[in-house]
């Protein structure tokens, strides 16, 4: 199993990005094969449970209340409707259900509903993930007590470029939320967005920040900017696709035990580019026709692509209490049988 480092330097990351393309992909693919089943992809579904009117000014986001987009604002979804969407996602092959709300941070009045969503989605046997903005320590522990598995809070970009993208919360605010999530015992989903007009050095800086966290995120979404009319980044220059694949490969090398998720922007990628990302170490995707409010490839198209590549969705164990108790009983029985065998021999 690969060694996980937390002391990456800017020069080391630059050297990885500047490797010959084939050498870089070979190195990333080799590390991927050492730590994961190379032909399996973890499938997640992302649902917007509260849409629009966000007070943050993230320049890439159509949900920001600062910009005029065609997005319709929606209140927090009813728990029953969220659970029904989770049930459908599981039927289509998802193993993790992610719920996102356009908030700066969840308010006290929202927490009972959020906690109930987590509990009822988990009862379906799905992993649960939420992205609700900033969390203080108390709210992080409340979500953990409800059974939330993952909390998503992206760093978005490098510390140096961050103020060009967001001014309503600081980089340290994001790091503090991740610390609170860890302190509450939950897993972290954290990545960023590339193609926002940043320099190559900012992509180096983003991955270095993620890899050098005290504990690397279990899940690292790498998003390609989806340009939305009405946002300040609607006319930014497209990122070269080879540079995006390099970012995936370097993320895999630097965070060998993390799931690297090929996330937003896949509708602009042909099958060949997505396949190259899988070879470079991406082993997770969002599944379904929407990523919060932006387009995503249709589920059938994803399944057809995986079939062409000889790949399949990753199978995960059932996370329901009944399944856990059953597996625990089985493990105890196996241990007892093993002990009897050794006593007899």
Print the SS3 string covering 230-252.
CCCCCCCCCCCHHHHHHHHHHHH
Task: Flag whether pLDDT at 287 surpasses 80.
Answer: no
CB 125 within 8 A of CB 138: no
CB 282 within 8 A of CB 248: yes
CB 162 within 8 A of CB 200: no
Residue 277 among the catalytic residues:
no
pLDDT at 115: 93
- Which helix (H) or strand (E) is 335 found in, with range? helix 321-344
For 68, 74, 81, the CA distances from 63, given in Å and listed in that order, are: 9, 10, 21
294-295/290-291 β-pairing: antiparallel
Top mean-pLDDT range of 75-84, 138-147, 307-316, 333-342: 138-147
Quick one: DSSP state of residue 260? Answer: E
Task: Flag whether pLDDT at 333 surpasses 70.
Answer: no
pLDDT at 96: 87
CB 134 within 8 A of CB 180: no
Residue 261 among the catalytic residues:
yes
First to last CA, the chain: 34
- Rounded to an integer, what distance in angstroms lies between the CA atom of residue 191 and that of residue 248? 11
Residue 119 tokens read as 């509990």
pLDDT at 43: 85
Give pTM, 2 decimals. Answer: 0.82
pLDDT band at 72 (very low <50, low <70, confident <90, very high): low
Task: For residues 281-307, give the mean pLDDT.
Answer: 70
- Which helix (H) or strand (E) is 98 found in, with range? strand 96-101
pLDDT at 286: 80
Query: One of 96, 252, 261, 266 is an active-site residue; which one?
Result: 261
Task: For residues 58-68, give the mean pLDDT.
Answer: 71
pLDDT band at 345 (very low <50, low <70, confident <90, very high): very low
CA 176 to chain centre: 18
Task: For residues 133-157, give the mean pLDDT.
Answer: 93
pLDDT in tens, 202-233: 999 999 999 999 999 999 999 998 888 888 88
Task: For residues 173-197, give the mean pLDDT.
Answer: 94
pLDDT band at 325 (very low <50, low <70, confident <90, very high): very low
Query: One of 61, 174, 203, 266 is an active-site residue; which one?
Result: 61
Task: Flag whether pLDDT at 25 surpasses 70.
Answer: yes
Task: Flag whether pLDDT at 196 surpasses 80.
Answer: yes
Query: One of 169, 174, 189, 266 is an active-site residue; which one?
Result: 189
For 57, 65, 164, 173, 208, the CA distances from 167, given in Å and listed in that order, are: 7, 14, 8, 11, 22
Task: Flag whether pLDDT at 94 surpasses 60.
Answer: yes
CB 279 within 8 A of CB 29: yes
Which parts of the chain fold into alpha helices (H)?
A: 10-17, 21-35, 79-91, 111-122, 137-146, 171-183, 200-211, 241-254, 271-279, 299-308, 321-344
- Which helix (H) or strand (E) is 139 found in, with range? helix 137-146
SS3 54: strand
What is the rounded average pLDDT for all residues in the chain? 84
pLDDT at 321: 42
pLDDT at 74: 67
pLDDT at 138: 94
Query: One of 96, 129, 252, 277 is an active-site residue; which one?
Result: 129
pLDDT band at 69 (very low <50, low <70, confident <90, very high): low
Quick one: DSSP state of residue 74? Answer: B
Task: Flag whether pLDDT at 97 surpasses 50.
Answer: yes
Residue 186 tokens read as 């939950």
Q: What are the binding residues for [4Fe-4S] cluster?
A: 54, 58, 61
Count of residues for the chain?
345
For the chain, percent of residues with pLDDT exceeding 90: 49
pLDDT at 39: 93
Strand ranges for 172-304 from DSSP E: 187-189, 192-194, 219-224, 259-262, 284-286, 290-291, 294-295
Residue 129 among the catalytic residues:
yes
CB 21 within 8 A of CB 264: no
């Amino acid at each position: 199993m690969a060694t996980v480092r937390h002391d990456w330097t800017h020069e080391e990351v630059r050297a990885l990005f500047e490797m010959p393309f084939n050498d870089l992909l070979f190195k990333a693919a080799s590390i991927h094969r050492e730590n994961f089943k190379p032909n399996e992809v973890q499938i997640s579904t992302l649902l917007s449970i509260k849409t629009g009117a966000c007070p943050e000014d993230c320049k890439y986001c159509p949900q920001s209340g600062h910009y005029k987009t065609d997005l319709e604002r929606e209140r927090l979804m009813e728990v029953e409707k969220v659970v029904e969407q989770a049930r459908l996602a599981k039927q289509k092959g998802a193993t993790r259900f992610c719920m996102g709300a356009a908030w700066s941070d969840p308010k006290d009045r929202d927490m009972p509903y959020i906690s109930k969503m987590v509990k009822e989605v988990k009862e379906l046997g799905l992993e649960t993930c939420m992205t609700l903005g900033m969390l203080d320590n108390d709210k992080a522990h409340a979500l953990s007590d409800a059974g939330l598995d993952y909390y998503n809070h992206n760093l978005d970009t490098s510390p140096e470029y961050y103020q060009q993208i967001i001014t309503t919360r600081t980089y340290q605010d994001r790091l503090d939320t991740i610390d609170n999530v860890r302190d509450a015992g939950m897993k972290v989903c954290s990545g960023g967005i590339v193609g926002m007009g940043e320099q190559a050095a900012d992509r180096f800086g983003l991955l270095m920040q993620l890899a050098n966290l005290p504990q690397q995120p279990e899940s690292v979404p790498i998003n390609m900017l989806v340009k939305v009319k009405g946002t300040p980044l609607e006319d930014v220059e497209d990122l070269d696709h080879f540079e995006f694949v390099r970012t995936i490969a370097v993320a895999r090398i630097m965070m060998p035990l993390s799931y690297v998720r090929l996330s937003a922007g896949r509708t602009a990628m042909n099958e060949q580019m997505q396949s190259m990302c899988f070879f470079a170490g991406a082993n997770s995707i969002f599944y379904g026709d929407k990523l919060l409010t932006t387009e995503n490839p249709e589920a059938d198209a994803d399944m057809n692509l995986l079939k062409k590549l000889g790949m399949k969705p990753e199978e995960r164990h059932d996370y329901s209490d009944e399944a856990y108790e059953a597996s625990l009983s089985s493990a105890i029985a196996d241990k007892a049988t093993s002990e009897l065998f050794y006593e007899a021999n």
